[in-house]
Amino acid sequence: MILKIIIFLLLGAGLLACSSVNTILVNNEQVSVTSEYEKVNSADSIILPYRNDLNKEMLEVIGFAPQSFERGRPDGSLNNWSTDVILNSQLEKIDKTKPIFCILNFGGLRNPISKGDVTLADVFKLMPFDNEIVIAELPISSIAKIEAYQKIRGGEPIAGAKIQNGNFVFNNPIPGAKTMLIVTSDYLFNGGDHMDFFQDNIDVQYAGELMRDVMIEAVKKQETLIWSDEKRIDLGE
Amino acid sequence: MKRRTFIKNSVIVSGGVLITPNVFAAESNVSSRKRVTILHTNDTHSNIDPFPESHSKYPGKGGVARRFELIQKVRAEEENVILLDAGDIFQGTPYFNKFGGVLEMKLMSHLGYDAATMGNHDFDGGMKGFVDAKKHADFPFVCSNYGFENTPIDGHTKGYTIIKRGKIKVGVFGIGVEMKGLVPDLKFGETKYFDPISVANDKANLLKKKGCDLVICLSHLGYSYESDKVSDLVLARKTKNIHLIIGGHTHTFLDKPTEEKNLNGETVLVNQVGWAGINLGRIDFEIDSKVFAKKDIIKVG
């Protein structure tokens, strides 16, 4: 009898235990890292020699931004500046019998250029990647895919062309041309950000220049950076 | 936030003397509530110094030395602190271009990171570049759904890690994003990619079986997509045994963790703190320790 009671109690306890729950109480805070925590500390000492080394190089002022350059979708002043600079850097080298434009990716413009002095570091932050410029030749018929891509993405930076009501229009069309040239980065040409239309390419030239280096040269040459909020992409309905 | 003291409730249950103490403790409210503080970052992108005051979007925000100060403050107040990162440690400032990620690894070790996972940009210096920088890290990288056999990274990452703090065991594993199209082919070479959902389920189940009180997934999938691409929210819904997903990749600033329901209808928290070390995520858990509990119920305060 006593044994039965023990078994009963054990069983009961077991069943109760199995149906029980753990409660986990949670508190959260997204703590903002601000000057409130500014204090010279041991992490600073680790950083210092690296920072000094870099600053020598990077804090050199190479130009001036009259306004802030921001990336945007479908359009942005940084989209316009970056694509213009990359396109212009290649115009002298190319076959003028084919229409040409430049496409880059919104995601690749990593940092705005703030109003004021522009340092070498600012350009490194905008374009940290060691991406090379390429010129791809594609059939004109691939434009439909580019229009579709622009629509899906909500606008990716272009120069030398516009999207009007969803339709692609060259700034300088060449009647009868069967192919076109697209200036872009090796990253995008090789399928980055799913620009799959580049698989239609019939030829590609690697420019042998890094996008960042071209941008640095452009800042130095322009001195006061050319700011434009021109609307280039209207995706329509 | 002040440290809390927990009072052990003593509850007398009739007949209790007949039952083994462990079972008794598990069933009754005689629970030793355990507390652990999770601190986390994602997509710090080589932002060592704070943004300058002239920055157009985040003036004066962030900075690793300040983050260290903040973390030290939390460590002084809390007994059990775990510090985690969800990837994309590299790329974004000249510090990476010039020093290849060495400084990032040295600093994360100094700050006391317990684990991190790899984001797509952590391949930007090539796989050998990652391994070279990682020599300066004293914490593990958990990568559960990349297969690194026949690559330079083989043997330099772990499938999961279990972090013990006092009486608490926290299991941590890492889920990476598919690199095709994101990372140049040459940079990830022969790395194999395994399905995030099935790997996450396997690891979470394993960590539960190993007696972890909490299971955390460090994810670099991205918070949410309009397409049916797998994201943190999808991962939360299609798995079980995960309590918290610390995400990255999409640079999403959340005001608070998102609460999703998993396959068992239990709450999963998904959190992400933007990028560049602008915010530090902090989640405090107070956990029951009932041995035979079938279910975990998460209550967000």
**Considering CB atoms only, which of B54, B67, B294 is closest to A116?**
B54
Kind and range of the H or E run holding A117: strand A116-119
Nearest-CA distance B160 → chain A (Å)? 22
Give DSSP secondary structure letters for B91-144.
-SSHHHHHHTTHHHHHHHHHHT--EE---GGGGTTHHHHHHHHHTT--SPBB-S
pTM equals 0.75
Q: Residue A56, Cβ neighbours under 10 Å: how many? A: 9
Q: Does residue B296 register a pLDDT over 90?
A: no
Identify all chain B residues contacting A6, using CB atoms and an 8 Å cutoff.
18
Contact A30 B279 (CB under 8 A): yes
Nearest-CA distance B45 → chain A (Å)? 10
Contact A106, A77 (CB under 8 A): no
Identify all chain A residues contacting B91, using CB atoms and an 8 Å cutoff.
128-129
* Architecture of the A45-222 domain: Alpha-Beta Complex (3.90)
- Report the candidate in B159, B166, B57, B165 with the shortest Cα–Cα distance to residue B117: B159
Contact A190 B48 (CB under 8 A): no
Which pLDDT score is estimated for B86? 98
Could you report the per-residue pLDDT of A53-80, keeping only the tens digit for each?
998 888 899 999 999 999 999 999 999 9
Nearest-CA distance A3 → chain B (Å)? 11
The rounded percent of chain A whose pLDDT value lies above 70 is: 92
Which residues, 6 or more positions from B149, have their beta carbon under 8 angstroms from its beta carbon? B190, B192
Identify all chain A residues contacting B211, using CB atoms and an 8 Å cutoff.
none
User: What average pLDDT does chain B have?
Assistant: 88
Which pLDDT score is estimated for B33? 83
Give the domain ranges of chain A.
45-222
Contact B301 A25 (CB under 8 A): yes
Could you report the per-residue pLDDT of A15-53, keeping only the tens digit for each?
444 447 788 999 999 999 999 999 999 999 999 999 999
Contact A47 B284 (CB under 8 A): no
Calculate the CA A89 to chain-centre distance.
19
Q: Confidence class of residue B57 from pLDDT cuts 50, 70 and 90?
A: confident
Contact A32 B67 (CB under 8 A): no
Contact A38 B273 (CB under 8 A): no
Contact B93 A128 (CB under 8 A): yes
Q: Confidence class of residue A130 from pLDDT cuts 50, 70 and 90?
A: confident
Q: Is the ipTM of this complex over 0.90?
A: no
Q: How large is the average pLDDT for residues B227-249? A: 97
Q: How large is the average pLDDT for residues B254-260? A: 97
Contact B79, B35 (CB under 8 A): yes
Among chain A residues, the shortest Cα distance to B90 is held by A128
Contact B70 A26 (CB under 8 A): no
Which pLDDT score is estimated for B3? 38
Retrieve residue B216's tokens: 């955390």
Q: Which of A23, A40, A115, A225 should we substitute to test contact with B (largest number of B Cβ atoms within 10 Å)? A: A23
Contact B65 A43 (CB under 8 A): yes
Q: How large is the average pLDDT for residues A158-180? A: 96
Nearest-CA distance A6 → chain B (Å)? 7
Which pLDDT score is estimated for A6? 52
Identify all chain A residues contacting B17, using CB atoms and an 8 Å cutoff.
none
The dihedrals phi and psi of B184, each to the nearest 5 degrees, come to -55, 135
Which pLDDT score is estimated for B291? 62
Q: Which residues of A107-142 are buried (b: 16+ CB within 10 A; e: fewer)?
A: ebbbbbbbbbebbbbbbbbbbbbebbbbbbbbebeb
Contact A41 B65 (CB under 8 A): yes
Among chain B residues, the shortest Cα distance to A13 is held by B27
Contact B78, B71 (CB under 8 A): no
Point out the least confidently predicted range of A206-215, B59-68, B167-176, B235-244. Answer: A206-215
**Considering CB atoms only, which of A26, A34, A124 is closest to B283?**
A26
**Contacts across the A-B interface (CB distance below 8 Å):** 219
Contact B18 A10 (CB under 8 A): yes
User: Residue B50 carries which side chain, given as an amino acid letter?
Assistant: P
Contact A121 B94 (CB under 8 A): yes
Q: Does residue B290 register a pLDDT over 80?
A: no
Give whole-number Cα distances, B7 to A99, B10, B213, B291, in Å: 77, 9, 20, 19
Contact B301 A47 (CB under 8 A): no
Q: Which of B13, B18, B51, B90 should we substitute to test contact with A (largest number of A Cβ atoms within 10 Å)? A: B18
Contact B292 A26 (CB under 8 A): no
Could you report the per-residue pLDDT of B6-43, keeping only the tens digit for each?
322 222 222 222 222 333 333 344 456 899 999 999 99
Q: Confidence class of residue B139 from pLDDT cuts 50, 70 and 90?
A: very high
Which pLDDT score is estimated for B297? 87
Strands laid side by side in the A179-185 sheet: A158-159, A100-103, A179-185, A132-139, A203-210
Among chain A residues, the shortest Cα distance to B291 is held by A17
Contact A35 B50 (CB under 8 A): yes
Instruction: Please tell me which residue, A8 or A48, carries the higher pLDDT value.
Output: A48
Which pLDDT score is estimated for A5? 52
**Considering CB atoms only, which of A17, A26, A47 is closest to B26?**
A17
Identify all chain B residues contacting A118, using CB atoms and an 8 Å cutoff.
none
The rounded percent of chain B whose pLDDT value lies above 90 is: 76
**Burial grade of B193 (CB within 10 A; 0-12, 13-18, 19 or more):** middle
Q: Does residue A4 register a pLDDT over 80?
A: no
Q: How large is the average pLDDT for residues B54-77? A: 95
Identify all chain B residues contacting A34, using CB atoms and an 8 Å cutoff.
60-61, 66
Q: What is the 3-state composition of chain A as percent helix, strand, coil, each rounded to the nearest 5?
A: 45, 25, 30
* Architecture of the B38-287 domain: 4-Layer Sandwich (3.60)
Residue indicated by tokens 């918070």: B223
Which pLDDT score is estimated for B46? 97
How far is residue B164's CA from residue B159's CA, in Å, rounded to a whole number?
17
Nearest-CA distance A194 → chain B (Å)? 6
Q: Does residue B181 register a pLDDT over 80?
A: no
